[in-house]
Each structure stands twice: as structure tokens, then as C-alpha cells.
Amino acid sequence: MNQFQSSSLYIGDIDPDVTEANLFELFNAVGPVASIRVCRDLITRRSLGYAYVNFHNVQDAETALEEKNNSLIKDRPCRIMWAQRDPSLRKSGKGNIFIKNLDTTIDHKTLYDTFSQFGQILSCKIELDEKQGSKGYGYIQFASQDAADKSAQTVNGMMLNGKKVFVGPFVTKKERMVANSSKKFTNIFVKNLPDNYSIEKLKEMFTPFGQISSAAIAGEDAGQSKGFGFVNFESPDAAATAVEAINNTEVEGKTVYVGRAQKRQERDAELRHKFEQMKMEQMTKYQGINLYIKNLDDDIDEDKLRAVFDQFGTITSCKVMNDAKGSKGFGFVCFSSPEEATKAVTEMNGKIVGNKPLYVGLAQRKEARKAQLEAQFAQRKQLARLPPTPIYGGAPPMFFSHPGQPNFVYPQMINQRGGRFPPQPYQAPGAPQGNFVVMNNNVGGGGRGAVKNGGRGGAPTNSRRGMKQTPVVSMPQQGPQLTADSLSSMPIADQKHFLGERLYPLIAKPQPQLAGKSTGMILDSSYPEEMLHLIENPQALNDKIEEAIKVLREHEGAAQTQE
């Protein structure tokens, strides 16, 4: 009996061309299917190679798992397992084993049948190459750790189809890297050798530490040494002693490096770790004192930027980023203390320098900005799931002009809990008093208003409901020119309103399907001065859109994984 009491199945390893219709044809023959979803990339809509099939009852799901697992769909065997909404079981590694040295004739079903005697199998997979042939190894996840341990003890070292197989606990790549770094070794790597160094000299250098099995210098066979080589000892103790004694010593005027020989994959992982650690140390060192400045005039160089910010304290570094065409429009200024940096942000953010308002803020790592966007997006998604209770008196509504009819508007209004509500009375700063729009109060926001010319004496009547409707000013499609001065004279909520009107059509051109979500994310995560810069700078806006869409896509992928 299914221990998860679920009627939902995960279908993996499917061909990218498999559709919901293909899966319905296969699984509806077992029992009535409630729903089918092929998981796809949020942007490209290309299949991610897995799907979910939901039956009306558990019995049909169990039958489908037993009968259809490893069935061919478009000439590729599918892998079926119970859908696990809680990812903790998958990530824990509980019940996972690894099998290698398998004969290439052993397929998914044969492996499943061989190991099913030890307990309930949640997932069974043989790694395949591009031609759908076995790579000779695979993975099995049991429902219990006891079943996994029993299978490893019984099958490890046995002959399967004439080959002695290895079966053991599954170890993640990260865990393997840690284990390799601490285990004993006999092979050492030597670099920065003198150009004329030979294998004989290399052996002579390391013979005092123990018996040498082999030695080599890269490129010596071709007559041109590459300056590095390997020495393999017969005992780990000799290798460890040689590393400790020779590393960082001088040989014929050159300081040589000696260490444990590593596989390229392990070496790359170690370098990445060191690089990340170095970046973290740098960010910690400059946290709270390094400022990011953008929307710079083209003629502002490092000397001029330093002169602008020099009044706030001691500047330890100043950099304007450039490319082949000149300034990229942004740079960094680092102060000697957090107090100086805070004062600079407070007084300079939004200030006009040259002909542009500056954006000034604390410099953040890319990962930190991404995490901030993800948190904001997750909060918006959570609020959107709550019942749409109208709450009046919040932020003013946003209006987007109907194409070709600048005097009609569509309301895009979100209340404090994510629901839609009828428009609030709103008067744009400096707008004429007689021009207004009567809005349809449908909650869905689909109705258009009719343009009226009215005076100050009365409000138009909604004939359908017999209620008076408060006048709402209609902005032209392009709207008044936005400048830093005009923005600074508006309340914050009004700034968001007008900036949203300008940003939405610009985002809708390259991303019509995601314009609403992207606009909302950018409005939530940016300062008004920064958004003004985005409106004026297409490249900066495009970068911001890509960043927002990446967060949306990853959030969608994470949600699909949890399902």
C-alpha cells in the first residue's frame, strides 16, 4: 500500500516532445485521470523532462506505477514514482544506493526487479548516454534505510550478467570532494620546476623520502618541459613527508609547489570554493562603506566622481566602470567608515549631478540582490493567494492606457492583501480639474470608463448602479514629462503611480506575457530615481527585466519541484 496515501505520480525521464495528450493516452487506460501536467520552462515553454499525473483514487495510481513504470513513451523508457510534495526526503539521501560496473544489457526494469525483493522502491534509474544506452551505473531509492542497507550488503560484489557489481550508499558530489581532500594519497603534483629539469633530477629530489613507483614531467617527451610533473610513491607516509619538506622551497632559483595530485573536477571545485571565500571576505571587509552609484552623466570620470563625494569623508577608492564606448554610467565609491557612507547616501541619492539624478546606495553582491528580489516575489505570491478583501485608503491605483485611445484606462489595482478593488479618488498633481474618467466598478477591472467634461460642481452618476462615482483624472498615454524635480514634488505613492505607467508599456514590448509581474517586482525593489533611470536607459531596463524574469523562472521551477 502506498505509504504516502497519494494518487499523484511523478513521471520522469520523458522525451521533450511528450505532451499531456501522450500521457493521457497511456495512463487513462489504467483508470480515470483527474489531471496531467508536463512541467515546462517559464519562458521558453520547453518541457523540463518530467510531468505529474493525478488519478481520482490511490488504487489506480498504484496500478499505473506497477504496470506502466519503464514503459516506452516515444521510444524512451519513463521512470515513475510517487509524487513527493515534501522535498526533505529527496534531499536527505535516506534509502539511496549507488550501483556501478553494470552490464550494458541491464535496463531499468531488470534493475528494478533485481532489487525489489529487498523492499519498496521509490525510484530506480540507470544513467543513459545520448544514444539512450546504459553508462554502466545507476541509482535506487528505497522507502526505508533498512532496505537500502540490506540490498548493499547482499548484492555488493555479486556477479550480474557476468560482471562483478559494486553496491554502496549514495554519496553526493560535495561529500565525495570532502572525503577525497582528507584521505591518504601516494601521488603528488610538482609545479614551477626549472625549464631544464629532467625526470632523473625530479627522482633525485624526492628519493630521500621513500620508494618511488613512477615519475613524469609534462612535455618532456616532446623536448619542451611545461614546468610541472608528478611523482608517485609506494607509501602514503612517504608522499605526505615529501609534500611537507619540499613545498615552497627554492630549486635552482624557483620556488616550487608540491601538493597532493587532484583530479581536475576536484581541483576546479577547490578553486571555486577559494574564490567564493575570497569574495565573501572582500564583501565583509567593505560592508557598509562601499557605495554603488549609477545614472552618471557620460562626462563624469573618476576624478569628477571623487570630487562630488569627497565632502562626506575619506574616500579609500573610487571607480567609474568603462567599456570600449566610454563610461557605462555607473561606478563605486568606498569610504573609510560606515558613518561617512551613510551620510553620502542620505544626501546624494536623487540629487542632480550634471543633467541626471543619481542613484546612490550600498553596494550589494549579486546573490544578495537576487535573494531580495526572490523574497519580495515570494511575499507577493503569498499575498495573492489570500481572499481579495477590499481595503480602502491604501496606495492609489495604477492606470494603464488602452492602445490607441489615450482617454480610456484599464485599472490595475492591488489592495494590501493582493486582491483587486474599485478605484480610489485620485487627482494628479497639477492636472486640470475638468477632465475626468468614469470607471466601471467591476472587480475584474475589465470595464472601460467614458470620458466626461465636467465642472467642479458635481460628480457623474453610474447609471447601472445609480451611485455617484468620484471623478478620476485620466492621464494621456504618454503622460507629462517625468523629471527628478517633478518626482521629488510628489508623494511617494504618486511617484510609483506615474513610474508604473511609464515602465509597463516599455516592459510589455519585449515581455508581453510577464509585463505585469515584472513591473510589480521592479516597482517594489527599486527607488524612484532608479526607475527614472530605467525609463531613460533601455539597456539598464533590459538588464533589470532579465534579472526579474530570472527570479520568476527560478521561483516557478522551485514551485514545480515542490509539487
Cell digits of residue 197: 629539469
Q: Report the distance separating Cα 60 and Cα 28, nearest Å.
A: 10
Q: Report the distance separating Cα 144 and Cα 484, nearest Å.
A: 63
Q: Report the distance separating Cα 109 and Cα 398, nearest Å.
A: 58
Percent of the chain scored above 70 by pLDDT? 69
Which of the four pLDDT bands, split at 50, 70 and 90, describes residue 489?
low
Q: Report the distance separating Cα 217 and Cα 228, nearest Å.
A: 6
Q: What angle do CA 529, 556, 442 make, to 5 degrees?
A: 70
Q: Report the distance separating Cα 40 and Cα 559, nearest Å.
A: 12
Give Cα 536 distance to the centre of its chain. 28
Give Cα 493 distance to the centre of its chain. 30
More confident residue, 474 or 295: 295
pLDDT at 509: 84
Using alpha carbons, select from 224, 188, 222, 194 the residue that is nearest to residue 206.
Answer: 188
pLDDT at 312: 93
More confident residue, 273 or 213: 213
Q: Report the distance separating Cα 370 and Cα 548, nearest Å.
A: 9
> In whole angstroms, how far apart are CA 215 and each of 180, 206, 222?
22, 10, 16
Which of the four pLDDT bands, split at 50, 70 and 90, describes residue 41?
confident
pLDDT at 555: 67
DSSP string, 119-153: S-EEEEEEEE-TTS-EEEEEEEEESSHHHHHHHHH
pLDDT at 23: 93
Residue 449 contacts residue 408 (beta carbons within 8 Å): yes
Residue range 446-478, pLDDT digits in tens: 444 333 344 444 444 444 344 433 333 333 344
pTM: 0.37
Secondary structure class of 274 (helix, strand, coil):
helix
pLDDT at 378: 65
Q: Report the distance separating Cα 210 and Cα 188, nearest Å.
A: 13
Share the mean pLDDT of the chain.
75
> In whole angstroms, how far apart are CA 129 and each of 133, 135, 137, 230?
5, 6, 11, 33
Which of the four pLDDT bands, split at 50, 70 and 90, describes residue 553?
confident
Bridge partners of 137? 100
Secondary structure class of 237 (helix, strand, coil):
helix
Residue range 336-351, pLDDT digits in tens: 988 999 899 989 998 8
Percent of the chain scored above 90 by pLDDT? 23
Which of the four pLDDT bands, split at 50, 70 and 90, describes residue 497?
confident
The helix or strand, by DSSP H or E, that contains position 39, with its residue range, turns out to be strand 33-40
pLDDT at 476: 36
Residue range 81-140, pLDDT digits in tens: 888 766 666 566 678 899 999 998 888 888 888 898 998 888 888 888 878 788 899 888
Q: Report the distance separating Cα 180 and Cα 178, nearest Å.
A: 6
Give Cα 322 distance to the centre of its chain. 27
Strands laid side by side in the 187-191 sheet:
212-217, 228-233, 187-191, 257-260
pLDDT at 52: 92
More confident residue, 422 or 375: 375
Which of the four pLDDT bands, split at 50, 70 and 90, describes residue 313?
very high
58-92 burial, b for 16+ CB within 10 Å, e for fewer? Answer: bebbbebbeebbbeebeebbbbbbbbbeeeeeeee
pLDDT at 356: 86
Give Cα 171 distance to the centre of its chain. 25
Q: Report the distance separating Cα 219 and Cα 548, nearest Å.
A: 49
Cell digits of residue 10: 511523478
Lowest mean pLDDT, pick from 101-110, 283-292, 355-364: 283-292
Torsion 239-245-248-249 (CA) sign: negative
pLDDT at 182: 57
Phi (first) and psi of residue 58, to 5 degrees: -70, -35
**What value does the mean pLDDT take over residues 386-391?**
45
Cell digits of residue 561: 519541484
Q: Report the distance separating Cα 512 and Cα 400, nearest Å.
A: 14
Which of the four pLDDT bands, split at 50, 70 and 90, describes residue 326?
confident
Write the DSSP symbol of residue 23: H
More confident residue, 563 or 60: 60
Q: Maximum distance among all alpha carbons in the chain?
A: 105
Q: Report the distance separating Cα 512 and Cα 402, nearest Å.
A: 15
Q: Where are the alpha helices (DSSP H) in 415-457?
A: none
pLDDT at 492: 64
Lowest mean pLDDT, pick from 115-119, 158-162, 176-180, 293-297: 176-180
Residue 436 contacts residue 452 (beta carbons within 8 Å): yes
pLDDT at 270: 73
Residue 495: CB atoms within 10 Å: 21
Cell digits of residue 194: 626549472
Task: Look at strands 159-160 and 228-233 and give their pairing.
Answer: unpaired
Residue range 247-270, pLDDT digits in tens: 999 988 899 999 988 877 777 777
Which of the four pLDDT bands, split at 50, 70 and 90, describes residue 407?
very low
Residue range 173-185, pLDDT digits in tens: 666 665 555 568 8
Q: What angle do CA 51, 57, 63 make, to 5 degrees?
A: 70
Answer whether residue 282 shows pLDDT above 90.
no
Q: Which domains does the chain have, with CATH numbers?
A: 8-168 (3.30.70.330), 181-264 (3.30.70.330), 287-363 (3.30.70.330), 398-558 (1.10.1900.10)
